[in-house]
Amino acid sequence: MLITHATLATLGSAPRLIEDGALLMEGGRIKELGKTAELEERFPGVEPWDAGGQLVLPGSICGHTHFYGAFSRGMAIPGAPPEDFPQILQQLWWRLDKALTPEDVRYSALVCLVDAVRHGTTTLIDHHASPNAIDGSLDVIAEAVQDAGLRASLCYEVTDRDGPERARKGIEENVRFAEKAEESDRLAASFGLHASLTLSEETLAECVKAARAAGLGFHVHVAEGASDQEDSLEKSGKRVVHRFYDAGVLGPRTIAVHCVHVDDSEIERLAETGTWVTHQPRSNMNNAVGVAPVERMMDAGVKMGLGNDGFSNQMFAEMKTAYFLHKLHQRNPQALQGGRVMELAYANNSELTKVFWPDQQLGELTEGAMADLVFVDYHPTTPLSTDNLPWHLLFGFEASMITSTVCAGRVLMRDRELLTLDEEAITARSRELAAEAWERL
């Protein structure tokens, strides 16, 4: 297929803005990029798709999410409202995840995948929990991802909070799925751990042993709330990052999610081990846990990406939040500039995906890269260039402008019509299942 008459924003290491651009897709990848007139002449027999002057960017990448949380929307939490982050975990998340059946897991994922296709997010790194439906849960999610036509890395959050039997099952699910994920080039695996505060030394050691044998890195919440540090100091005499370093969890294939409460010595450790850190500002604001020292970490050489922690799969919204939050928090209009937000969401998230798909170039429109695209019906009212693109995106883009999504050359949404998922049926069944899950809380 030949996409024509698009404004192509290539991003990547040599960003270009190609006006009246064309993009040829072949075998799931980008074969050629150029001007419409030139490519139309060279490829006369190829089926054209006229973008009508829309802006076309690489599909968005989400560095950390939780499909399982979809049924929490509008859910009443029984009892007094939570007063802090540990209470939010206990009263909301650890009640919801226990209520999930395999069908709930499937529909929670489908709801999030519809949202991802609608908002042009083509690659997602998920962190799953369903303590009463552990075995095979990652297969259920993988099937939904395959049906949607998206790309995802999956893992199961191992924890001691539900007893040793379920901790063991969680380990087994990670190991089992890692082999299965190799069957598809749109799936990948990591080894999930919930967080330091719900892991004993023994379970942690078991996980490290199993992950090493399976050749997996970890995906784990790190110092999200101050309570994670207090617990770790009490349990091990070490701060969370140092506890994980000593246990063998850190390294270039591991994602340390959040890192809100890390000190300089921990930041140094994260940098020297090449551990990935992802930032999720909407979640941090909602849980009132604090603001991650994103710029300090980036300046110290920590590899940082952007996730959404289960918030909408509209990564432009996460980018906007990051942009505003750090300015307000530091009372400094120069904090976390637009270029750095773009770095997190594109260059860095693209690099992060190499952990899982080393042979696939993502997050960039270039010859040979995967044909992952989002069409934005955005017609700038002021001059647009590669240099000022971040500010057009941060101040001009709205979710309603996203019209089409392509993943690995397959069109998943065209002119706002979903082509792989039945949104109406998924929505209706999700609403029924969520009502039943809420009854079981």
Q: How far is the CB of 305 from Zn ion (least distance, A)?
A: 13
Fill in the DSSP letter of residue 75. P
How many separate helices (H) and strands (E) can be counted in the chain? Answer: 17, 18
Q: How far is the CB of 258 from Zn ion (least distance, A)?
A: 7
The alpha carbon of residue 91 and the mean position of all alpha carbons in its chain are separated, in whole angstroms, by: 25
Using the rule CB under 5 A, give the single segment among 12-20, 226-234, 307-315, 329-337 that binds Zn ion: 307-315
Q: Which three-class secondary structure state does DSSP give residue 225?
A: coil
Cα 74 to Cα 372: distance, rounded to the nearest angstrom = 32
By beta-carbon proximity to Zn ion, the closer residue of 228 and 309 is 309
Q: How far is the CB of 200 from Zn ion (least distance, A)?
A: 21
Q: How far is the CB of 168 from Zn ion (least distance, A)?
A: 22
Q: Please work out the total of residues on this chain that contact Zn ion, with binding judged by CB under 5 A.
A: 1
Task: Give alpha helix (H) positions in 56-200.
Answer: 85-88, 94-99, 102-118, 137-148, 164-181
By beta-carbon proximity to Zn ion, the closer residue of 226 and 418 is 226
Residue 189 neighbours by CB distance under 10 Å: 27
- Pattern of binders to Zn ion over 257-296, x per CB under 5 A? ----------------------------------------
By beta-carbon proximity to Zn ion, the closer residue of 355 and 421 is 355
By beta-carbon proximity to Zn ion, the closer residue of 231 and 309 is 309
Q: How far is the CB of 127 from Zn ion (least distance, A)?
A: 6
The footprint of Zn ion on residues 205-244 (CB under 5 A) is none
By beta-carbon proximity to Zn ion, the closer residue of 242 and 258 is 258
Phi, psi dihedrals of residue 248, rounded to the nearest 5°: 90, 25
Using the rule CB under 5 A, give the single segment among 91-99, 166-174, 305-313, 397-405 that binds Zn ion: 305-313
Q: How far is the CB of 22 from Zn ion (least distance, A)?
A: 39
Cα 22 to Cα 234: distance, rounded to the nearest angstrom = 59
Cα 316 to Cα 147: distance, rounded to the nearest angstrom = 24
Using the rule CB under 5 A, give the single segment among 46-54, 77-85, 144-152, 304-312 that binds Zn ion: 304-312
Q: How far is the CB of 65 from Zn ion (least distance, A)?
A: 8
Task: Give how far Cα 68 sits from Cα of 72, 123, 188, 318, 378, Å.
Answer: 9, 17, 18, 19, 32
Using the rule CB under 5 A, give the single segment among 91-99, 152-160, 306-314, 345-353 that binds Zn ion: 306-314
Radius of gyration, alpha carbons of the chain:
21
Q: Which three-class secondary structure state does DSSP give residue 237?
A: coil
Q: How far is the CB of 310 from Zn ion (least distance, A)?
A: 7
Contacts 24+ apart (CB under 8 A), 317-324: 317/282, 317/399, 318/62, 318/280, 318/281, 318/282, 318/345, 319/344, 319/345, 319/393, 319/394, 320/394, 321/281, 321/282, 321/285, 322/279, 322/281, 322/294, 323/394
Strand 55-58 relative to strand 2-9, pairing: parallel
By beta-carbon proximity to Zn ion, the closer residue of 115 and 309 is 309
By beta-carbon proximity to Zn ion, the closer residue of 266 and 309 is 309
318 binds Zn ion (CB under 5 A): no
Which of 104, 157, 228, 309 forms a contact with Zn ion (CB under 5 A)? 309
Q: How far is the CB of 222 from Zn ion (least distance, A)?
A: 10
Residue whose beta carbon is closest to Zn ion: 309
By beta-carbon proximity to Zn ion, the closer residue of 3 and 345 is 345
Using the rule CB under 5 A, give the single segment among 204-212, 308-316, 319-327, 342-350 that binds Zn ion: 308-316
Residue 410 token pair: 């397959």
Residues paired with residue 279 on neighbouring β-strands, in sequence order: 306
Task: Give how far Cα 334 sits from Cα of 123, 154, 324, Å.
Answer: 30, 36, 11
Fill in the DSSP letter of residue 63. E
Q: How far is the CB of 64 from Zn ion (least distance, A)?
A: 6
By beta-carbon proximity to Zn ion, the closer residue of 29 and 279 is 279
By beta-carbon proximity to Zn ion, the closer residue of 309 and 364 is 309
- Interface with Zn ion (CB under 5 A): 309
